[in-house]
Amino acid sequence: MSQTEPRSDRETKKSLRFDHPSGILRLTQHDAVPVLLDAVLDLPPGREFNKSEFADHAGVTRQTVANYTDLFLEMEVFETVPNTTPQRYRVADSDVVRELYEFNSALNTAGE
């Protein structure tokens, strides 16, 4: 992409990215998501939590967690724990979570 590309072309291309986002853009386009993902990365496998517990762990409000719970379920970051009230969740046993750990590990070792 040229540095001299007209601003309107850049804006159009950026808009198209948000109209048809990749998985990573879809997940990270929200300000709170990186903080929530960082909190996911230091939970022990199989650890159950409700929204309030996860909010406390992440250092955000319960409302912030509630805002992104459906996204995390859809993207297979969280899974529900059946027959729990209030609803409990755990970090999903999914390819997405395994790749998230791998990606984080690669980022942590980059430049060493």
**Contact status, residue 73 vs residue 80, Cβ threshold 8 Å:** yes
Can you tell me the distance from the alpha carbon of 95 to that of 48, in angstroms, rounded to the nearest whole number? 19
Name the token pair of 65: 């967690």
Average pLDDT over residues 41-58: 93
Q: How far apart are CA 42 and CA 95, in angstroms?
A: 17
pLDDT at 65: 97
What are the pLDDT digits (tens) for 53-70? 999 999 999 999 999 999
Q: Name the CA radius of gyration of the chain, rounded.
A: 17
Query: For the whole model, what pTM was predicted?
Result: 0.77
